[in-house]
Structure 1
Amino acid sequence: MREQAKIDGITESVIFRETAKLHGLTTDCTDFELFAQALAEEHVKRATELRERGHALPGAAAVLDALDADSVQQTVVSGNVRPVAEIKLQVFGLDQHILWELGAYGEDHDTRAALVRLSLQGAEATAAQTVLIGDTPADVQGAHANGVRVIAVASGRSDKAALRDAGAEVVLPDLRETALLVKLVRGMSGS
């Protein structure tokens, strides 16, 4: 395909559908399932390349370890399909403390707000008990649509101003200050 739909903060199913439309194609759920399977297979094949070209955000592993040591349940809400989310975190050694079954993924719904809601339901958690750590305005909006507070990290294409404008309660430049992150999560979740 020569063109791809906008991808920042959008779920994999929407990217697939909108990219197909750009090329005059009509798709259905079966097409997306086949695409998602092929996408996961390609990520497995290219795990070494992903590791060489990408990197974990500095401090991410330490934060995950510290939150786990503090008995905080951790999961993933991602626009990626679950196998791709698993591969991406595994490649960078960030998958050890993740409760995958409590998460929500790009194949579960089209919108971030619905993914946050599904994860809350799966975890049997209230919004008041939950803090979302994200890096896009879509993460902030999806969390806020469910009453969840947000720690936004200006790690990707979204800068501090965009994350503040989206309404994140806290905006950080990175995840290097582990003790601060744990304190923020605990304070924002009422623990």
Structure 2
Amino acid sequence: MPELVLWDIDHTLMATGGLGRELWSEAFRQVTGVVMREQASVTGSTERVILRETARLHGIACDDGLFTRFADALGALHVRRAAELRERGHALPGAAAVLAALAEGNVRQSVVTGNIRQAAEVKLGVYGLDTYLRLDDGAYAEDGEGRPELLRAALAHAGVTPDRAVFLGDTPADVAGGHEAGVRVVAVATGRAPAHELRDAGAETVLDSLTDTSRALAAIGT
């Protein structure tokens, strides 16, 4: 049985119904004064990297100060529009049941996500998923740029070795990041990557969804 289960958020536990991009675009406009024409690829990336690459596409220099201001703006927008997020998005089918079953088994759970922490907290809170998670044990965009770095940060926060953890995500980047950090990966084909791409990336197990609680728990190792 794993000592720690780490979850990606977007497209693994929930979907925002397109509102996430709208909030991102508004935060970008607020901190740069520039209307976002295009956004860098977000799949499997982190807010820090997405901001830097999106700023480059608009001819804007990006430094730690810009990221801090952006994170503050994005977090505030999530708080302000939490009710809209609840209405437009949703927890993915089966997510709450798997989280609850792990919690009932006293398995420690947290998140590893490219979201800034405040946005992650709002997203998890509006869909009632935060009660199952120890968010201080997780890692967020403020903790690094890539999945391996974030996973290592979460393991350090939780005081757990890689062999005692499992990571669930929906992208090939999640799979690769888990392997680089020495963490076993269960991939969930609920995002843009189909199951065969996740298998090709090397995921030990691929689930079509989280709707079968027993199968999900077996894949996690409980």
TM-score exceeds 0.5: yes
Residue 119 (structure 1) aligned to one of 142, 151, 154 = 154
Q: Which residue of the partner structure matches residue 98 of structure 1?
A: 133
> C-alpha displacement at 1:49, in angstroms?
2.0
Per-residue Cα deviation, 1:73-106 (whole angstroms, up to 9, x for no partner): 1000000011111111111111101111111101
> C-alpha displacement at 1:183, in angstroms?
2.5
Residue 45 (structure 1) aligned to one of 74, 80, 85 = 80
Residue 101 of structure 2 corresponds to residue 66 of structure 1: yes
Q: Secondary structure at the match of 2:186?
A: strand
Structure with the bigger RCO (C-alpha within 8 Å, sep 6+) is 2
Q: Which residue of the partner structure matches residue 4 of structure 2?
A: none
> C-alpha displacement at 1:179, in angstroms?
1.9
Structure 1 residue ranges (4+ consecutive) displaced by more than 4 angstroms after TM superposition: none
Q: TM-score, normalised by structure 1?
A: 0.94
In structure 1, C-alpha distance between the alignment counterparts of 2:104 and 2:179, rounded to whole Å: 27
Contact 2:207 2:216 in 1 (8 A): no
Residue 154 (structure 1) aligned to one of 165, 170, 189 = 189
In structure 1, C-alpha distance between the alignment counterparts of 2:191 and 2:89, rounded to whole Å: 12
* Aligned residue pairs, count: 187
In structure 2, C-alpha distance between the alignment counterparts of 1:161 and 1:44, rounded to whole Å: 37
Q: Which residue of the partner structure matches residue 140 of structure 1?
A: 175
Unaligned runs of 5+ in 2: 1-35
Identity %: 54
> C-alpha displacement at 1:184, in angstroms?
2.4
Match of 2:94, as an amino acid? G
Q: Secondary structure at the match of 2:132?
A: coil
> C-alpha displacement at 1:38, in angstroms?
0.4
Per-residue Cα deviation, 1:10-66 (whole angstroms, up to 9, x for no partner): 100000111111111112111111100100111112222222221111111010010
Q: Which residue of the partner structure matches residue 46 of structure 2?
A: 11
Match of 2:102, as an amino acid? L
Residue 131 (structure 1) aligned to one of 157, 166, 172 = 166
Q: TM-score, normalised by structure 2?
A: 0.82
In structure 1, C-alpha distance between the alignment counterparts of 2:141 and 2:120, rounded to whole Å: 9
Residue 216 (structure 2) aligned to one of 165, 181, 187 = 181
Q: Which residue of the partner structure matches residue 10 of structure 2?
A: none
Structure (1 or 2) with the greater strand fraction = 2
In structure 1, C-alpha distance between the alignment counterparts of 2:136 and 2:86, rounded to whole Å: 25
Q: Secondary structure at the match of 2:198?
A: helix
Q: Secondary structure at the match of 1:74?
A: strand
Q: Secondary structure at the match of 1:164?
A: helix
> C-alpha displacement at 1:4, in angstroms?
0.9
